[in-house]
A and B are shown apart, each in its own frame.
Chain A
Amino acid sequence: MLFFSFFKTLTNQTVTIELKNDIRIRGTLKSVDQYLNIKLDDVDVLDLDKYPHLSSVKNMFIRGSVVRYVVLPRSEVDVGLLEDATRREAANQAGKAR
């Protein structure tokens, strides 16, 4: 749940999402679910000339499994906290596996 928890804090931030088919989309992250499906608003497709069919798309729902990268706004990430959250997650996982 770490990633879910993490992405939840990024709602209403502008992120750039690179899909596995190389399309890069910048938009406002509206919501994320546990599968890391992503809802984007005010969408802006980078390299739009390559994907003209997306030129009129204003918002979209992206299935989590097709996402390759999410480019985050750095100022919105609390690295120390994220590290601790990661440690907790790891501890939880270790606890479950045992």
Chain B
Amino acid sequence: MSFFGFNTTLPRDRAPPGDQRGIFDAPDPFAEVARAQAAGLQADDDDVIDFEDTYDGLGDQLDEDQDEFNDDTFGGGGDTGGVGRDFDFFGKTAQVADVIGEEQIRYGLQKPQGSVIPPAAETAATLAAVEAAAAQKPKRSGYEKYEDPGYIPDLQAKSSVWSAHKKTEPSFQAPSLAKKMMSLEEVEAQMRQHPTAPPPGLSQPPVSLPQPMPDLSHFQQPLQPPLPEGFPHLPPEFVQAQLAKGIPPSQLLPPPPMVPEHFPMPGHAPNIPLHLLQNAHLPPQAMTPPQRQAMPPRAQRPYPQQQPQQQQQPQQQPQPPVIPQGPRAQANQMPMVTNPQQLMHLNEEQRIAYLMEDARRAKRNHKIFLLSKGNGLMTPQDKNFITRIQLQQLVAAAGNVADFDSEAVLSEDFYYQVYSQIRGAPRQHPHQPLGHFAQTYLLQTGNRLGGHGSRRHGNSADNHMQRMQQQVQRAVEAAKQKPKNKQLIIEGSLGKISFGNAKAPKPMLNIKRPDSSEGAKTTKKAHADLSLSDRKSILANIEGVYSALMELEDMERTMPPPPDENDPEAIQQHMEWRQKVRALNQKLWQKLKVMEPIVPNTNHPHPFIAFLSCPKGKKAIPRIFRQIDQEQRVTILTMIVVNLDTLDVVRRAQLMPGETQLSLAVREAIELFSQAVMPSLLGYVNEAPFNIIIGLLGLVIAQTHVEMVAKTRIGLGILTMLLSRAEIVKEAGQATERDWQQWVEKFNVLFDTLEPIFPDLFPHSINAGDDMYVWQFLAAVGIGASPEQQQRLVIAVKDRVMETVTYSKTLPADMASQRLGNVNLFMRAIGLDVELLG
């Protein structure tokens, strides 16, 4: 196998079994690269780009031998021998493609469709497919940037008119064209079409996805299309390697002495255009020098002997007579450039196509020549070094985000996370581990760099970028484990690089807080204690309650699973957790200040009542009730009942003489109270034992101005609550005779107190509308009342009943029935019905 005395120590022995090189076939360095690359994917052995030389040692903390997962990543077992020229790199990669795909989808890192033949096409590989695969290669050469944008489409149009390839060329150029020419709008439109498209899985590898980032769109994933099996005579790596360099096929044509007839013609591939076959068998010397130089050292190293002679050729080829001329001019001069003997074997169309290729090649060469002046200014190692510094900065910055667990997410992104959970918004990456996060980010970077590099490096760039990516992944791992580092010292960098991120910006000033601020706090606190009920301290109290509440709710989240009796550790854990919850509960209870002594005859309401007078405080009640036990609930309820007439929704809800309506603020407060607080109270009362109900009613009668309380919606609501609960207990037969006696006593007192003002319970004007709560109360009273009391009740509210019935006749049907329904609630409670009134 060692033609031209090549170094045979390289993985040459892994050459594919069916070696069918012709006599003109010099070993192809790129085939070697491709093969070494394939092999290198499985064994990290040929480390040409030596990270250890320049790497700052982050990786030293890592296990460098973590190659055992390479198979998982890249597929295939350790059977390196089995990796032939038809190694299905794509297929193997596709097995893990869904992982990659997921990441790519998440970040919308998508590429235009159709750039890669799906694996299914592999078996059905036709000749056209071979051509397509081969001809596709120039598209990823990276030369695109050198061309003026209109160049490729231009050429294509012409070739479709003249060329013999018109049936094949459009078919393979169209997809790649589409890939290149997608405007931002198109890409976005595509994204919008499948915004949450699931990972494509095996059948639709990530490479072929539309890519939203236009500047990356020219880059192709390091995956290679499957190499068709139907045509073994073109060693696929060979073709790819050469074509991937952007060498137009025609350029690879042999010098004049090479006559097509001398080529071993593959028998079963008669349709393939002649020049394509010739390309495939071309010695690498025919490559243009700039391209040769642009090859990375990795590619060159295997053939050290070759380099001198190759680099002697440089200036001849890039400046053929045709340099400055466009394709057209070139076409007119066809006899000058072409090999006449060969042209004779081509028909007219083929010749034209061939000449077109030639012209393109000449133009390209010229541009490459012009651009090659800067070549070699930086060695690949230099570039690697810089790239690595950049990547490390990135990783180190990401390292601060490394504690990307749900805790951190919740604390940083609380609103969004919870909101999305509540509203069922698309879960983007709530608990996605950093691994994925950073990986994706780095993948993106890798793509960009790879795309950039592929201009010069061809296949090897892909491999290189994969290595780089692996390296960075390890670095990410390391950064995760490292404590937060505020600055980065990279070997060779000038000084320390400190950085910030969005969460912790780089501090410009570092001011140490004086300890005296502690003292300031204590004085403030003392002040707060002095005046318990000024608005500011009330609000501060509420905030204290909320923070305790949030801590408790946080604890709920971290509740360990119910302990298994056989697992002492879990029991221990559970016990600790319970203890913490209890402590927090006590803290909350303390902050609520429910147990503050009631100071009679003061201007200041009780702290808890003050707490309830704020909308924020009212809103907190349902949440508090979830966190406290029954005893605490009854304490709160008792506190509310005792202070019922100082409660803002009762105190301020008294209509002054001359007023027909409460102020808006008060109405809002009442509304909020009945929505936020009442359901919680009701929820408790509905389960409360009878003696507590009796006690509460007693408190209302004894401690508050019942007449005043009863004239408000909230007061009446609480009374209704108690009365109806008592009735339910009685109906259920749960009340003992003695309890019931006690209840009736209290009830009678209440009834007697309220009897004179029954008509005044209603809001003033009959058309004010909402008097339902009064009817409810009256119904509750009516149920519990004795027949004699019921009679008195009817007499007291008779006028209102009649008024309402009359009034409802003037109302539209639905409103009327509603009003009558309210009245009926009461009427039925005492065994009557509005129907009876006619």
Contacts and interface: CB of A to CB of B under 8 A. Distances in A.
Contact of A87 (B413, B423, B513, B543): B543
B807 interface: no
Q: Pick the most buried of A34, A82, A84, A97: most chain B CB atoms within 10 A of its CB.
A: A84
Nearest to A88: B414
Q: Give the 3 A-B residue pairs with the shortest CB-CB distance, closest first.
A: A85-B415, A5-B416, A34-B502
B503 interface: yes
A1 B595 CA distance: 38
A2 B547 contact: no
A49 interface: no
B425 interface: yes
Given A5-B416, A9-B423, 13 more contacts: A4-B413, A8-B416, A9-B415, A9-B416, A78-B415, A81-B422, A83-B546, A84-B546, A88-B411, A88-B414, A88-B550, A89-B414, A92-B412
A91 interface: yes
A80 interface: yes
A81 B203 CA distance: 42
Interface string A69-98: 000000000101111110111011000011
B550 A84 contact: yes
Contacts of B513: 97-98
B547 A91 contact: yes
Contacts of B416: 5-6, 8-9
A34 to B, nearest CB: 4
B619 A5 contact: no
Given A1-B503, A9-B420, A78-B419, A84 B414 contact: yes
Contacts of B417: 5
Contacts of A5: 412-417
A9 B413 CA distance: 11
Nearest to B414: A85
Interface string B364-401: 00000000000000000000000000000000000000
Contacts of A89: 414
Interface in B491-514: 502-503, 513
A78 B422 contact: yes
Contacts of A82: 415
A68 B462 CA distance: 46
Contacts of A8: 413, 416
Contacts of B414: 2, 5, 84-85, 88-89
Given A1-B502, A80-B619, A81-B422, A87 B547 contact: yes
B325 to A, nearest CB: 42
A6 B616 CA distance: 21
Interface string A4-26: 11101100000000000000000
A97 B512 CA distance: 9
B550 A1 contact: no
B542 to A, nearest CB: 11
Interface in B522-559: 543, 546-547, 550
B418 interface: yes
Nearest to B616: A83
A25 to B, nearest CB: 19
Contacts of A91: 547
Interface of B: 411-420, 422-423, 425, 502-503, 513, 543, 546-547, 550, 616, 619
B547 A81 contact: no
A8 B422 CA distance: 14
Nearest to B553: A84
Nearest to B415: A85
Nearest to B620: A80
B689 to A, nearest CB: 33
Contacts of A4: 413, 502
Interface in A39-69: none
Contacts, number: 55
A81 B418 contact: yes
A8 B412 CA distance: 13
B320 to A, nearest CB: 47
A2 B415 contact: yes
24 contacts: A2-B414, A2-B415, A4-B413, A5-B412, A5-B414, A5-B416, A5-B417, A6-B415, A6-B416, A8-B413, A9-B423, A78-B415, A78-B422, A81-B415, A81-B422, A82-B415, A84-B414, A87-B546, A87-B547, A87-B550, A88-B411, A88-B414, A92-B412, A98-B513
B732 to A, nearest CB: 37
A98 to B, nearest CB: 8
Contacts of A88: 411, 414, 550
Nearest to B410: A88
Contacts of A84: 414, 546, 550
Contacts of A83: 546, 616
Contacts of B502: 1, 4, 34
A89 B416 CA distance: 13
A1 B513 CA distance: 23
B413 to A, nearest CB: 5
A1 B422 contact: no
Contacts of A78: 415, 419, 422
A2 B423 CA distance: 18
A97 B543 CA distance: 19
Given A1-B502, A88-B411, A92-B411, A9 B550 contact: no
A32 B77 CA distance: 45
A65 to B, nearest CB: 15
A8 B413 CA distance: 10
Q: Pick the most buried of A80, A81, A88, A91: most chain B CB atoms within 10 A of its CB.
A: A88
Q: Pick the most buried of B412, B425, B513, B550: most chain A CB atoms within 10 A of its CB.
A: B412
A8 B428 CA distance: 11
A9 B418 CA distance: 10
A91 B415 CA distance: 14
A49 B616 CA distance: 44
Contacts of B546: 83-84, 87
Contacts of A98: 513
Q: Pick the most buried of B419, B547, B616: most chain A CB atoms within 10 A of its CB.
A: B419
Contact of B413 (A1, A80, A81, A97): A1
Contacts of A92: 411-412
A88 B505 CA distance: 19
Nearest to A98: B513
A81 B619 contact: no
Contacts of A85: 414-415, 418
B384 to A, nearest CB: 30
Contact of B425 (A2, A9, A97): A9
Contacts of A87: 543, 546-547, 550
A59 to B, nearest CB: 9
Contacts of A2: 414-415
Contacts of B413: 1, 4-5, 8
A1 B501 CA distance: 12
A63 to B, nearest CB: 16
A4 B543 CA distance: 24
B412 A1 contact: yes
Nearest to B419: A9
Q: Pick the most buried of B415, B502, B547: most chain A CB atoms within 10 A of its CB.
A: B415
A87 B544 CA distance: 10
Contacts of B423: 9
